[in-house]
Structure 1
Amino acid sequence: MKIFRIIFISVLVLSAPLVYAQNDSTPIYTVMYNQAPEGFNYPLIGFVNQANGNHKGAQIGFINTNTLGFTGAQIGFVNTIGDFQNGLQLGFVNTTDGPVNGLQAGFINTSTDSVNGTQLGFINTQVHASTGLQAGFINTSTGKLNGAQVGFVNINPKEVTGAQIGFVNSTGKLGTLQLGFVNYADSLEKGGFPLGFLSVVRKGGYQAVEVGYNELFPYNVSVKIGIPAFYTSFNGAYNPDFNDEFAVGAGFGSLISLGPVFFINPEAYYLYQIHAENSITRASLNFGVTLGERVQLLAGPSAAWIWYAHDYDVIDPAFSFYRERFDENDELVIGLNAALRIKLSK
């Protein structure tokens, strides 16, 4: 009991104010609660720290609050600034009701104004224009993004002129790089380039379906989606003469315009025969012509590298310009690709 009495008295002594305040203009400085008026630019170190008005210095505690602008460092579990931030917020939840010109680092970072510095955390949110960096699991910027978003999910409903790098990227207007597994943009501006496994651009994108013929598979169907400069392709192929008739795969390609009618279309894709477990890597250099608004015809030479899962397998092409089997597992076939493509995008 004596030990508990000593601890209790010690807490009372430590909690007693060093300066007792009758109004907001006088500092209160205790171990548990600190309050500073504007102009009291000394470090506030305690469980709860509150600075009224504009403040400079440091706040270190569990809960740190500044009613107006803050220049310095807030370090704690919950940090709140009522206006601009020039410095550091380091904690679990960081909130600034004004522009961020420094660093917010925590689990949840929020700025109701612009971010000209860095938000580093699990969930980062900023409401107005940004020229800084958002790095985290989920990044949201509702104003124009001139900086960068790096994370698993990056969202900007307005316009991106910086960069979005993540697993899923989404924006309104894209005028820069999107690098991710899934990319979406409502419209494509000059300089916009989505690069990923699946890129969807509603205005200015490229979507098409294709039926084709080549030396290995007389029946080919594919879906193209992306932009003319770079699109991904999802392929299915069928040859009734093979033991394993079906093959599926994916690849990429590019449309290089030679004018309003003619174009060059290099493509590469990978096919896999599920039951036979053979792999086919194809590359073709197609020359195309556009007929009307939506119809495209193309043809060109192709090369197929076949990897046999079993050394006794043989895939006989319908024809070939050149064919050589290098060993039990590898074979090269030079042939021809021809296709009819229907554009779904304008």
Structure 2
Amino acid sequence: MKTIRIILAAVSVLISQWTFGQNDSVPIYTIMYNQAPEGFDYPLIGFVNNGHGNHKGAQIGFINTNLKAFTGAQIGFVNSIGDYQNGLQLGFVNTTNGPVNGMQAGFVNTSTDTVNGTQLGFINTQANTSTGLQAGFINTSTGKLNGAQLGFVNTNPVEVTGAQIGFVNTTGNLSTLQLGFVNVADSLKKGGLPIGFLSIVRHGGYQAIEMGYNELFPYNLSVKIGIPAFYTTVNGSFNPDFEDEFAVGAGLGSNIALGSIFFLNPEAYYLFQFNAENSITRASFNLGANLSSHVQFVVGPSVSWIWYAKDYDVIDPAFSFYRERFDENDELIVGLNAALRIKLSK
């Protein structure tokens, strides 16, 4: 039996060596190398599988290639298709030199045309319109994306109409949701909403520097960035009368237009005093006015909840409309907020 297996293996190698350089219209079916001409729609299972022309079925091996369109499944370490794909590519590297109608799942997935389906991997790229999902560490789409990008870094220079969810999201026209730590868009269209710690919209965004006063801190400086409907703010406050003079924090807010001049401005943010270790959670409901194209004034009531790190510690406000100490660590203060903003955005 062992002798027969050796003979069969030798014959297989001889056939492979004899036919490897022959006409690509001749099917080759060996353990190491399989070749399928046009119309030979049988599964190719071997170390290297090569399909000439259009092919249907399956290629399972270490290296799978098909020179034209492929319908079925390629499963291996490296998979490549020379034309459109209908089906599945599952491997370490998957490339399609045409539209993808199905799924690419691997470490690196690329398509030089449209993707109508899903790319799942560490790096996903497509060069034309995409309808579906890109999920990976780095997702790039150079054409319009009618779907979603989920990953650490998501980029699209044209337009995303689905969603970008990741640590860093960038796009040209934003008409959908961006959810991440850093969001960048060239312009904002109807329905666009960036939500993150830092959201930069070049056209249609909101960037402002604010100098304000309230009952706890007479000197306040903050930077606001995002869009008018939703922006984030980084705050720094100073009161020379406090034992711990400085407090820093961050929050969020919204400008709700009431016309061309007035707007409502709800805001909430958190402040922390590092030396005293006190935390202040503050909310204000302001009425704003556009004094010019770049100057805004806001004023309104505010509520502050103070948590004291040291029992029965006290922060005395300059004034208050209402003040209630609930226990040794928690206090509520109702006061007033007023600020002048310089808009940096158009």
TM-score (norm 2): 0.96
Counterpart of 1:133 in structure 2 is 133
Deviations 1:114-154 (A, max 9, x none): 00010000000000010111000000000011111011100
Shift of residue 9 of structure 1? 5.6
Counterpart of 2:242 in structure 1 is 242
Counterpart of 1:149 in structure 2 is 149
Counterpart of 1:27 in structure 2 is 27
Counterpart of 1:61 in structure 2 is 61
Shift of residue 230 of structure 1? 0.1
CA distance in 2, matches of 1:16, 1:247: 80
Shift of residue 189 of structure 1? 1.0
Pairwise CA RMSD: 1.6
Secondary structure in 2 aligned to 1:117?
strand
Secondary structure in 2 aligned to 1:40?
coil
Counterpart of 2:117 in structure 1 is 117
CA distance in 2, matches of 1:44, 1:341: 68
Give the partner amino acid of 1:336: L
Deviations 1:262-305 (A, max 9, x none): 00000000000011100000000000111111111110000000
Matched, 1:315 2:315: yes
CA distance in 2, matches of 1:246, 1:102: 56
Counterpart of 1:15 in structure 2 is 13
Counterpart of 1:340 in structure 2 is 340
CA distance in 2, matches of 1:10, 1:239: 90
What 5-or-longer segments of structure 2 have no aligned partner?
Answer: none
> Which segment drifts farther, 297-306 or 189-198?
189-198
Shift of residue 25 of structure 1? 1.2
> Which segment drifts farther, 153-162 or 50-59?
153-162
Secondary structure in 1 aligned to 2:10?
helix
2:16–2:33 Cα contact (<8 Å) kept? no
Give the partner amino acid of 1:221: L
Counterpart of 1:271 in structure 2 is 271
> Which residues of 2 match residues 193-212 of structure 1 at below 5 A?
193-212=193-212
Counterpart of 1:292 in structure 2 is 292
> Which residues of 2 match residues 142-181 of structure 1 at below 5 A?
142-181=142-181
Counterpart of 1:188 in structure 2 is 188
Counterpart of 1:79 in structure 2 is 79
Counterpart of 2:42 in structure 1 is 42
Give the partner amino acid of 1:140: T
> Which segment drifts farther, 250-259 or 172-181?
172-181
TM-score (norm 1): 0.96
Give the partner amino acid of 2:250: A
CA distance in 1, matches of 2:337, 2:162: 39
CA distance in 1, matches of 2:307, 2:7: 81
CA distance in 1, matches of 2:280, 2:136: 38
Shift of residue 209 of structure 1? 0.3
CA distance in 1, matches of 2:120, 2:188: 28
Aligned length in residues? 343
CA distance in 2, matches of 1:77, 1:203: 44
Note closer, same or farther for the CA distance 1:125–1:193 as it changes in structure 2 (3 Å cut): same
Query: What's the % identity of the aligned pairs?
Result: 78
> Which residues of 2 match residues 87-106 of structure 1 at below 5 A?
87-106=87-106
CA distance in 1, matches of 2:8, 2:42: 25
2:212–2:221 Cα contact (<8 Å) kept? yes
